[in-house]
Structure 1
Amino acid sequence: MPHGLPRNIRIAFILRLALASLAVIATVLIASTVVKHSLIHTLLQEEALHYWELYASSPAQPPPNTRGLRGYLVLRGQSELSLPEELRGLGPGLHSIGRELVLVDERAPGRLYLLWLGPQAERLFFWSGTLPLLLCLAVLYGASYITYRFFRRLVSPVSWLARQVAQWDPREPDTSALAPDRLPKEVQGEARQLAEALHGLSQRVATQVARERDFTRDASHELRTPLTVIRVASDLALAGDLPPRAVRSLQRIQRSSREMEAVIDAFLILAREADIEPQSEDFDVAEIVLDEAQSARDLLVGKPVELTVVCNAKPRLHAPPRVMHVVVSNLLRNACSYTDEGRIEVTVDSDQLVVRDSGIGMTTDAMRRAFEPFYRVDESRQHSTGLGLSIVHRLCQRFGWKVELDSVLGQGTTATVRFVP
């Protein structure tokens, strides 16, 4: 799990540590700078007070001159030319010259210049700033490392559980590692409860999937048997001498049985896994469109609606032919159901199939929901189940086709199936 919970925790700790380090460094630097200036200022003031006390008892007392401190005295009325050039012109108070600090203390006898040398200031800065900073950072890093190891141990059972689930085969998940008697000792508390729940859930899902597969297989077999009987019986009946009306009825029965077989095949295809290829063959789209248009004309009996088919090309596709039967049949049934007068035109081009009607049309919101199962534009039309476009959409997705809708309320709808994405 390169992008899992441990990595996120590690990144969070690194960011937290970086921000905390910046805050500590800034705080210690500011504090040490303030401490350095205030402490040196206090020391220089005390040194100046001590010198003036000595000067009061003996004016011949020389200014301080040690390894870390230089003193200069300019009596009142004397010139500042005896001072180093960088000290000339400084007024009373504390001054910073490069790495050195200078205190100018003025009294009645004159001015005392006390110069705190840079190395001494740097050593003071180290002891009052750098060393505390290093100690703070060491404590911070140590505490963060211990905390990180603690949290890592806390989330390790969750990470282990996530890795186990990620290795499952969706079709046949192996959940034996999540069995209660096989869980590692470190998987305790909520993680153990989650593992046991996932183990039970996966077993129920596997049972349900097996039950659905059995049902799909059995239902397919049981539905095909009566359809075969109907088709054979209608074939035998058509072989006899029958009146034209009976012949037309038997032909409609045969077309309906073929349509039902196509629907069963389509449902079986949708029920299979996506990586299981159905039996496919090359077929002529125009032939299927003409056949389905002939069946759709029976739905327009008594309606002032004209159905025409225009074949500008004869594209051939490689897929189960009955899938295209279901797609065309549902598009034509929708067009016939929602068109009360006018015309329905089916156009076959080299890369697409277009079904255009002059029916009631759809609003923008209806077009967005048109592919939802059981959604109907007009609830008053009881013959519509709301499944047709949903089935068309799922079948087109399954075989890499693209179905699009374009509609104007009150003017009609155009459905386009593009064979080339």
Structure 2
Amino acid sequence: MKAFDSISQKFRLSYLIFTAILCVTFVSIFFYAGIHMEEMLVKSRLLEQLSLSIKQSGIQNHYAADSGINIYRFDTAPPELQAKATETVQEITVEVNGQNRELHFFTHQKEGQRYILTYLLEDHMALEDYPVLAIFEHFEAIFLQTLLLAVLLSFAIAILFSYVSSYQITKPLLILKNAVETDNESLSTLLHLPSEVGVLARVIDDKNQKLASYLLREQLFTGDVSHELRTPLTIIIGAAEVLESQLPLDSQQREFTRRIHHTATETSDIITALLMLSRTPEQLDAPRTIINSVITSEVERLQYLIGYKSVTCEIIADHSYAAMVRPELLKMAVGNLIKNAFQYTESGQVTITIDYDFITVVDSGIGIRESMTPHLFERFERGGIDDINAIEGSGLGLSIVQRIMVHLGWQLHYQPNASGGSTFKIQYKNALSQIDSNDYNNE
């Protein structure tokens, strides 16, 4: 799971973002208020000095005070100040004795005359000549330190509170998760809760009951069908064996009887494999099954599909291999792939390669339309490039193979061949056990 995919992480992140927004807001308010308070103090001091200068010296073009205050009649003020001065206190940086200082200035109308009032802020001047501003700047520094401490403390509290509250919020969800993962008895203890967890528990319990009912019906249906089919198949197999034994060896009817016997036996094996697919993988044992013998048997069984075609089949294997898998499931999976390769190849070759990682079936047949590739393993989908209606098939073969792969935890891969045809690979999840030829022959 990624860092911020869980609810608790998102909850904690939202607390931190909310705290950051609040801190930025309060800091902005503090600086805004501080700037305006300083402007008001400077303005009141300069207005006081203007009144005092007019009282003492009358109307003059320029008044100067020892505290860095200069008052100009507007038309005699420096041009730069005339261009920038408004009734709001402003600041510019000026160079005095090689040092940069802040110059505060604004305009004011008094007794019909307009003035520009300026104040050159210097530390010693502020402390000695303007104690109110000095006190304000002292308190401003204290407030700034306090504000910084408050911001740090707010983040610490937000982190602590977010962890505590996120745990309290997600705890019922974790209890629900554990109850769902264990059994329905643990889930039933949450059904009576009036909270959202109780609602979720009731919905999950209802879905579980419907799913269990559906699975039970499917298992009963599969079991009933297999039971009902086995009896007539057993009769057909027995009758075919008796009939085959009574016919002459060179009789044409004997070949038809053998085909009936093989088809009935194959159908019985399919029923067995479908019964296994209806069970969970944990309910099935997984004996060591010889891959080579299963594939050889399937090639021989399906040889009739290419008996009247110019198609050859080759099995390539450096060694004999085995896998821990039910032979019925492996037979159905590789049998469907080989059957498709034989059925959809009119001329050329079908190559089956067995190695330590893959069972690969390559054919030179009609191939699969590119538009059907995303739906290749869906039920009732047939994707031949040529006229597929002329070739028998239900569109279930690859979907059954895919279902077996999912059941076994293996993977099925497809890729088109550059020269035409298809390549299907069965990739083993569990390691193949390589065996020697003697062991294979003994099997």
TM-score by length of 1: 0.71
Of 120, 124, 142 in structure 2, the residue corresponding to residue 95 of structure 1 is: 120
Of 244, 264, 270 in structure 2, the residue corresponding to residue 263 of structure 1 is: 270
Q: Which amino acid in structure 2 is aligned with residue 329 of structure 1?
A: G
The share of aligned pairs that are identical, in percent, is 22
Q: Identify the residue that residue 304 of structure 2 maps to in structure 1.
A: 298
Q: Does 1:20 align with 2:22?
A: yes
Q: Identify the residue that residue 136 of structure 2 maps to in structure 1.
A: 121
Secondary structure of the corresponding residue to residue 219 of structure 2: helix
Per-residue CA distance 1:303-329 (angstroms, 9 max, x = gap) = 333334444432122211122211221
Per-residue CA distance 1:42-69 (angstroms, 9 max, x = gap) = 2321331354366459xxxxx99xxxxx
CA–CA distance in 1 between the matches of 2:124 and 2:204? 68
Q: Identify the residue that residue 225 of structure 2 maps to in structure 1.
A: 219
Q: CA deviation at 1:268?
A: 2.9
Which runs of 5 or more residues in structure 1 are unaligned? 58-62, 65-69, 75-84, 103-112
Of 230, 233, 251 in structure 1, the residue corresponding to residue 236 of structure 2 is: 230
Q: Identify the residue that residue 381 of structure 2 maps to in structure 1.
A: 375
Moved more, 303-312 or 333-342: 303-312
CA–CA distance in 1 between the matches of 2:102 and 2:346? 104
Q: Does 1:411 align with 2:423?
A: no
Contact 2:360–2:425 at 8 Å: present in 1 too?
yes
Alignment of 1:329-348 (within 5 A): 329-348=335-354
Q: Which amino acid in structure 1 is aligned with residue 40 of structure 2?
A: L
Q: Does 1:388 align with 2:382?
A: no
Secondary structure of the corresponding residue to residue 239 of structure 1: helix
Which runs of 5 or more residues in structure 2 are unaligned? 59-63, 71-96, 104-116, 433-443
Per-residue CA distance 1:91-129 (angstroms, 9 max, x = gap) = 872222248649xxxxxxxxxx944477413355379x6
Contact 2:42–2:133 at 8 Å: present in 1 too?
no
CA–CA distance in 2 between the matches of 1:120 and 1:351? 83
Contact 2:311–2:349 at 8 Å: present in 1 too?
yes
CA–CA distance in 2 between the matches of 1:86 and 1:354? 86
Contact 1:362–1:408 at 8 Å: present in 2 too?
no
Q: Identify the residue that residue 210 of structure 1 maps to in structure 2.
A: 216
Q: CA deviation at 1:285?
A: 1.9
Q: Which amino acid in structure 2 is aligned with residue 15 of structure 1?
A: I
Per-residue CA distance 1:179-237 (angstroms, 9 max, x = gap) = 4xx224xx2xx776555444433322222223223333333333333333333332333
CA–CA distance in 2 between the matches of 1:131 and 1:169? 52
Secondary structure of the corresponding residue to residue 389 of structure 2: coil
Contact 1:5–1:159 at 8 Å: present in 2 too?
no
Q: CA deviation at 1:377?
A: 0.8
Secondary structure of the corresponding residue to residue 411 of structure 1: coil
Contact 2:46–2:118 at 8 Å: present in 1 too?
no
Q: Identify the residue that residue 36 of structure 2 maps to in structure 1.
A: 34
Q: Identify the residue that residue 200 of structure 1 maps to in structure 2.
A: 206
Q: Identify the residue that residue 189 of structure 2 maps to in structure 1.
A: 177
Q: CA deviation at 1:365?
A: 3.9
Per-residue CA distance 1:375-419 (angstroms, 9 max, x = gap) = 211341462122212222332343354433232477222223344
CA–CA distance in 2 between the matches of 1:174 and 1:305? 61
Q: Sort the Cα spacing of 1:238 and 1:90 in 2 relative to 1 into closer, same or farther, 3 A.
A: closer
Alignment of 1:355-370 (within 5 A): 355-370=361-376
CA–CA distance in 2 between the matches of 1:171 and 1:385? 40
Q: Sort the Cα spacing of 1:18 and 1:163 in 2 relative to 1 into closer, same or farther, 3 A.
A: same
Secondary structure of the corresponding residue to residue 201 of structure 1: helix
Aligned residue pair count: 376
Secondary structure of the corresponding residue to residue 285 of structure 2: coil
Supply the RMSD in Å over aligned alpha carbons.
Answer: 4.5
Secondary structure of the corresponding residue to residue 167 of structure 1: helix
Q: Identify the residue that residue 108 of structure 1 maps to in structure 2.
A: none
Contact 1:95–1:101 at 8 Å: present in 2 too?
no
Alignment of 1:129-144 (within 5 A): none
